[in-house]
């Protein structure tokens, strides 16, 4: 019996749904519990979890509106139209006009055909751009705008940026989200870090209803030390940035009040590598529902050739360190990030066990391979359930490999059009 798929909400209610491009037979074969429709009015922790791989696009792209439609059809659920570091200083005015035109075009004819509406954000470089862009978009054009990304967020200037978005929300008659980016020298310099992060935490707590997620500017943080991680490494191999991420999670994500997203992965394919891939063959060989595993093995080779195995490792480390979602700069990165956020049946079953009672104690996992402690594991279980709602729960025995197989080539297909 096929899983009933809820239609996306009415045209006036924007929503997103992961893997909306998959047919009902594929959804039924993959998912014990399919991804839900998530609306912009849902709980902010759930909506932040559903961001998934947030694709950045320079505001200067000549066919920006059609790019958004194409990526949405391929499975992208959140995008940032960038007016900051991705464009030259001399291109700001042209990029602003291009972003305004794209958002107005999308508001007039939104890409609902794919079954969901992406969350679209504008990354500004100056606070004054926020009211200016809202005014230029007008009542009709602002319909597709979910909010603003605030770069180099810090105590100095952070309050003004938050207030500017709040006033813009009042202008448009609905809430606009903010996503502060932590990437300033005060954040990574050891002697100022704790004070700077504590100030950020106070600010985002004060404006918690506006803050969708906190993002990490790993490229800027590396750049402050003249560093750039090699494609053979993850961000966690760069000690000075790894330590900073740990403190960001410690201070800004403590208590589960705010979602912190994974840092950008900035590489795509190269022909030669220094190190052997750490992506094991076994999970792919055991994916017997994918042409007896042979197609999955070929897919693994393609992932390694495209350097996506390093991305996969970094996403696993992101999740292990309390980060959800990721910033990406190329559509080929999106399927791997989304596949790794789908919940396995084992995770889901353990999370349900943990949340089944609040009296504490220990219960053995039904998989007979671990103990579930009801109090220490409760916050973890709540995150798993949010991921399950946003990305779905796999059927018994399936892994991210089956999800990748179902979505493999999807972005190549749509981006070739």
Same-domain pairing of 178 and 137? yes
SS3 string of 233-272?
CCHHHCHHHHHHHHHHHHHHCHHHCCCECEEEECCCCCCC
Same-domain pairing of 318 and 242? yes
Burial degree of 270 (CB within 10 A; 0-12, 13-18, 19+): exposed
Give the domain CATH number at 52: 3.20.20.60
Say yes or no to pLDDT of 222 above 50. Answer: yes
Q: What average pLDDT score do residues 345-351 get? A: 94
- The model's pLDDT over 365-403, given as tens digits with 9 standing for 90+, comes to 888 788 888 889 999 999 999 999 999 999 998 888 888
- The model's pLDDT over 74-99, given as tens digits with 9 standing for 90+, comes to 899 999 999 999 999 999 999 999 99
**pLDDT bucket at 119, cuts 50 / 70 / 90:** very high
Per-residue model confidence (pLDDT) at position 417: 44
Same-domain pairing of 105 and 233? yes
- The model's pLDDT over 12-57, given as tens digits with 9 standing for 90+, comes to 456 789 998 899 999 999 999 999 999 888 899 999 999 999 999 9
Same-domain pairing of 335 and 365? no
Per-residue model confidence (pLDDT) at position 287: 61
* 8 Å CB contact between 322 and 241: no
Q: What average pLDDT score do residues 333-339 get? A: 93
Say yes or no to pLDDT of 114 above 90. Answer: no
Same-domain pairing of 260 and 360? no
> What CA dihedral angle connects 245, 383, 389 and 348, to 10 degrees?
120
Per-residue model confidence (pLDDT) at position 48: 97
Cα-to-chain-centroid distance, residue 144: 18
> What CA dihedral angle connects 272, 274, 279 and 282, to 10 degrees?
90
Regarding pTM above 0.85, the answer is yes
Residue 11 lies in a domain: no
Per-residue model confidence (pLDDT) at position 414: 41
Please give the tally of structural domains in the chain.
2
Tokens of 295: 């197609």
Helices (H) and strands (E) in the chain, counts: 18, 14
Same-domain pairing of 261 and 359? no
Same-domain pairing of 202 and 227? yes
Same-domain pairing of 120 and 140? yes
Per-residue model confidence (pLDDT) at position 200: 98
Q: Which residue has the higher pLDDT, 287 or 322?
A: 322
- The pLDDT > 70 percentage for the chain reads 83
To the nearest whole number, what is the mean pLDDT of the chain?
86
Residue 80 lies in a domain: yes
Other residues' Cβ atoms within 10 Å of the Cβ of residue 110: 18
Residue 280 lies in a domain: no
Residue 253 lies in a domain: yes
Structural domain that includes position 354: 346-387
Per-residue model confidence (pLDDT) at position 277: 55
Same-domain pairing of 313 and 363? no
Same-domain pairing of 319 and 356? no
Say yes or no to pLDDT of 9 above 70. Answer: no
Q: What average pLDDT score do residues 227-245 get? A: 93
Other residues' Cβ atoms within 10 Å of the Cβ of residue 383: 18
Tell me which of 223-227, 279-283, 403-407 is least confident: 279-283
* 8 Å CB contact between 146 and 176: yes
Residue 414 lies in a domain: no
Residue 27 lies in a domain: no
**pLDDT bucket at 8, cuts 50 / 70 / 90:** very low
Residue 316 lies in a domain: yes
Tell me which of 64-68, 99-103, 184-188, 310-314 is least confident: 310-314
Residue 282 lies in a domain: no
- The model's pLDDT over 149-180, given as tens digits with 9 standing for 90+, comes to 999 999 999 999 999 999 999 999 999 999 99
Per-residue model confidence (pLDDT) at position 40: 81
Same-domain pairing of 330 and 371? no
In 252-366, the DSSP E strands lie at 262-265, 326-328, 362-364
Same-domain pairing of 131 and 206? yes
Q: How many CA atoms lie within 13 A of 142 on its CB side?
A: 22
Say yes or no to pLDDT of 111 above 70. Answer: no
Per-residue model confidence (pLDDT) at position 296: 61
* 8 Å CB contact between 249 and 322: yes
**pLDDT bucket at 271, cuts 50 / 70 / 90:** low
Spatial neighbors of 43 by CB under 8 A, at least 6 apart, are: none
In angstroms, the CA 118 to CA 204 distance is: 24
């Amino acid at each position: 019996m096929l899983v009933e798929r809820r239609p996306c909400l009415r045209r006036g209610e924007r929503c997103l749904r992961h893997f909306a491009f998959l047919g009902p037979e594929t959804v039924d074969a993959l998912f014990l519990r399919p991804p839900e429709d998530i609306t912009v009015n849902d709980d902010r922790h759930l909506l932040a979890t559903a961001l998934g791989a947030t694709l950045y696009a320079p505001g200067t792209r000549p066919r920006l509106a059609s790019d958004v439609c194409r990526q949405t059809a391929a499975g992208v659920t959140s995008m940032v139209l960038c007016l900051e570091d991705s464009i030259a200083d001399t291109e700001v005015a042209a990029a602003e006009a291009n972003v305004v035109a794209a958002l107005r075009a999308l508001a007039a004819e939104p890409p609902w055909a794919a079954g969901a509406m992406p969350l679209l954000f504008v990354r500004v470089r100056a606070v004054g751009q926020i009211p200016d862009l809202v005014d230029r978009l007008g009542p009709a054009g602002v319909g597709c705008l979910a909010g603003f990304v605030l770069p180099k967020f810090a105590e100095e200037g952070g309050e003004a940026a938050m207030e500017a978005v709040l006033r813009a929300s009042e202008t448009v008659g609905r809430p606009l989200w903010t996503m502060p980016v932590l990437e300033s020298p005060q954040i990574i310099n050891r002697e100022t870090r704790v004070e700077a992060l504590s100030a950020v935490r106070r600010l985002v707590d004060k404006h918690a209803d506006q803050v969708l997620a906190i993002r990490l500017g790993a490229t800027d943080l590396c750049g402050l030390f003249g560093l750039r991680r090699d494609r053979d490494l993850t961000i966690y191999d760069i000690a000075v940035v790894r330590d900073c991420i740990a403190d960001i999670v410690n201070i800004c994500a403590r208590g589960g009040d705010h979602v912190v997203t994974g840092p950008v992965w900035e590489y795509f394919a190269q022909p030669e590598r220094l190190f052997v891939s750490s992506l094991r063959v076994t999970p792919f060989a055991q994916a017997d529902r994918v042409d007896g595993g042979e197609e999955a093995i070929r897919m693994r080779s393609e992932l390694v050739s495209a350097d996506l195995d390093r991305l996969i490792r970094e996403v696993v480390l992101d999740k292990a360190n309390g980060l959800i979602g990721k910033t990406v700069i190329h559509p080929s990165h999106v399927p791997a990030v989304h596949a790794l956020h789908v919940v396995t049946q084992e995770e889901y079953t353990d999370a349900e066990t943990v949340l089944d009672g609040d009296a504490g104690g220990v219960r053995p996992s039904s998989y007979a391979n671990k103990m579930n402690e009801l109090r220490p594991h409760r916050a973890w279980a709540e995150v798993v359930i949010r991921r399950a709602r946003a990305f779905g729960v796999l059927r018994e025995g399936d892994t991210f490999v089956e999800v990748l197989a179902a979505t493999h080539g999807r972005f190549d297909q749509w981006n070739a059009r």
